[in-house]
Amino acid sequence: MADRRSLLAIVLMSAALHAVGIARTLVPAQDGLKLIRFARQFQNDPWADVIRGADVHPLYPALIAIAEPVVARTVGEGPDAWRLTAQLIATMASLTLLIPVYFLTEGLFDRRIAFLAAGVLALLPRVAEVGHETLADSMGLCATFTSLWLAAQALNRGDRRIAAGSGFFAAIGYLTRPEVILVPVSIGLTWAIDRLHPAGKRRPRAIGAVAVMIVLPAIAVAGYAGIKGQVSEKLSIRAAAGLGPPFLLKRSVPQPLPPGLDDPTLDFSAKEESDRVAIRGTGQAARRIFGRWWEGLVWYFAVMTVWGLARRRETRAMLSEDAKAPAPGIEGLLLGTFALIDAAALLRHSASLGYLSGRHVLPLVVASIPWAAGGAYICWRRIGEWMHLSPRAMKLGRAVPIAMALVLCIGAQLNPTHSRHLSRWGHWSAGRWLSSHAAPGEEVLDTRGWARFISGLPGYDYWHIRQALTDAHLSYILVELDELEAKSARARTLRSLLAFAATPIEDFPAGPADPRPAVRIYRYRRPASWEGFTR
């Protein structure tokens, strides 16, 4: 019971950190704008049509659409209600994720190390960040590891009812994030490997349970493919920026540029190319994956993961001496198999597309946490024995690294200088300015989309600049100053366009404590002709 109360304390601590993160979030994440747009469409259009037109899996936006009216009754209708709804769903999934990670670690080691694992998960800054962003990642992680936890229970006991629960969570995980389809693959491969080992032969055959855990996600895949026409869709760059209510959106209809802007040397790219060097080859992809994994575990827990894997048998033997370790189950093999399959998928993804974000590596980070907790535990136990500490001193000593981790990780999460949320403060201020100054019928071209989301005004994102420049209602153009200062053809084109047809009217600082201008609003005056325009 005391261990369960400890888990509750970690959940409450994590909830408090997420509440602070939500309070400091002014606008959605960049990808969150797209998810919110699809959520709004779910409230207005037939769901099948929305699913067919979306380039993301539908469950998370659908839940936002269902929950938004409830949140709107409390905070009022508008952009804040949509943002807050998306964040609350992500936060609830993040808090629920603590439970399967706790029980997976308990099956692998014992309750003491499970408590450490839950604490590590709650404190990792990258995992915490996606837990209160307007993103589907935390929901995908929750479904993934809940399915793995229930799969371990089903394989250990041969219980088809538990297997049905695992299959159900894998199915809803797939409807949230396409990579969750790796879970039933990992379960089937784990079962096959386990049957070759003596310990696995002593477990129930569980063929029916494995079939259930594979069939249920397959039904979800088939249902989605029946509506969508394909199993999944690579994220489409051209449909990535979704802003404002559906009835305010301009449809993406190809339209040629007017004479004078059709010079092939002009660059109207939707966004600036990333400064990060593209991944080339399998070797570079492997190094990038390792680097992201290392960062996600804030290096210390990455080292502890390696130590925990190397000392896993010694750790279990030590716990057995304490008579507190459960009989070995299939959790270790299942987590290891999933981690290897996920790493292989990441390797192929990053080598073929040349890109890898920190969010892509999060399943691998979370799968490492039980081993990181085990490594931290055995490390401290061996240090205590080497120093000949008494049992009481050992308990007190264990609190020291835990307290240090609390201070460092909580400090990293709350440090305003590292907050991505405050970096959007200028866009939030610009959106509020537009909502109070724009006249009825005036529209906005917003290169990033955040300010237009806050203002609720109709208009365009930069993907549809061709349509925007020919719209008689376009009155404002909003840009980040970094976009104008870049040394690129896109930046030169944008600077020339603004100098030719717009007048700066207001600058907004980067943050409350940073007076440097970061966002600028221009008044757009549509020229009678673009002839003579040059960059």
What tokens were used for 485?
A: 């200062």
CB contact at 8 A, 77 and 59: no
d(CA 43, CA 30): 21
Q: For residue 250, is pLDDT > 50? A: no
Pick the closest to residue 94 from 60, 143, 28, 165 (CA basis): 143
Whether residue 165 sits in one domain with residue 108 = yes
d(CA 364, CA 354): 19
Among the candidates 361, 395, 417, a domain finishes at 417
d(CA 116, CA 98): 11
d(CA 418, CA 34): 24
Residue 476 lies in a domain: yes
Nearest 5°: CA angle at 303, between 301 and 305?
70
Whether residue 177 sits in one domain with residue 139 = yes
Q: Which residues pair with 507 in a beta bridge?
A: 520
Whether residue 366 sits in one domain with residue 297 = yes
140 CB-contact burial (10 Å; exposed 0-12 / middle 13-18 / buried 19+): buried
Residue 36 lies in a domain: yes
Taking residue 264's Cβ as centre, other Cβ atoms within 10 Å add up to 5
SS3 376: helix
* pLDDT value at residue 112: 84
d(CA 7, CA 276): 39
Find where tokens 């079939």 sit. 211
CA distances from 308 to 18, 40, 303, 344, 389 (A): 29, 46, 9, 22, 22
Q: For residue 157, is pLDDT > 60? A: yes
* pLDDT value at residue 162: 96
Pick the closest to residue 426 from 511, 485, 484 (CA basis): 511
Residue 264 lies in a domain: no
Predicted model pTM: 0.86
Pick the closest to residue 148 from 102, 112, 192 (CA basis): 102
d(CA 276, CA 294): 18
Taking residue 283's Cβ as centre, other Cβ atoms within 10 Å add up to 10
**How do residues 198-229 score in pLDDT, each as one tens digit?**
877 778 888 999 999 999 999 999 999 888 87
Whether residue 195 sits in one domain with residue 104 = yes
Residue 372 lies in a domain: yes
Q: Which residues contact 298 (CB under 8 A, 6 or more apart)?
A: 124, 125, 408, 409, 412
Q: Domain span at residue 286? A: 2-232+280-417
Q: For residue 290, is pLDDT > 50? A: yes
Residue 477 lies in a domain: yes
Residue 243 lies in a domain: no
Whether residue 339 sits in one domain with residue 209 = yes
Half-sphere exposure of 235 (CA within 13 A, CB side): 13
Mean predicted confidence (pLDDT) in 155-177: 94
Whether residue 398 sits in one domain with residue 477 = no
CB contact at 8 A, 186 and 341: yes
Pick the closest to residue 186 from 231, 160, 219, 152 (CA basis): 152
Q: What total of structural domains would you count in the chain? A: 2
Whether residue 483 sits in one domain with residue 404 = no
SS3 226: helix
What tokens were used for 344?
A: 């292989």
Q: Return the beta strands (E) in 275-412 as ranges.
A: none
Residue 262 lies in a domain: no
Among the candidates 384, 417, 450, a domain finishes at 417
* pLDDT value at residue 252: 44
Residue 263 lies in a domain: no
Q: For residue 75, is pLDDT > 80? A: yes
Whether residue 69 sits in one domain with residue 14 = yes
Q: Please state the φ and ψ torsions of residue 195, each to the nearest 5 degrees.
A: -70, -15
Whether residue 398 sits in one domain with residue 481 = no
d(CA 350, CA 346): 6
In this structure, the dihedral spanned by the alpha carbons of residues 373, 18, 141 and 277, taken in order and rounded to 10 degrees, is -90
Taking residue 245's Cβ as centre, other Cβ atoms within 10 Å add up to 17
Whether residue 327 sits in one domain with residue 194 = yes
Q: For residue 447, is pLDDT > 70? A: yes
Mean predicted confidence (pLDDT) in 426-453: 91
Whether residue 490 sits in one domain with residue 352 = no
**Chain mean position to CA 412:** 18
Among the candidates 349, 383, 417, a domain finishes at 417
Q: Which amino acid is at 142?
A: C
Mean predicted confidence (pLDDT) in 273-279: 61
Whether residue 372 sits in one domain with residue 518 = no
pLDDT category at 275 given cuts 50, 70, 90 is low
**How do residues 370-379 score in pLDDT, each as one tens digit?**
999 998 888 8
d(CA 253, CA 466): 10
d(CA 292, CA 335): 19
CB contact at 8 A, 83 and 27: yes
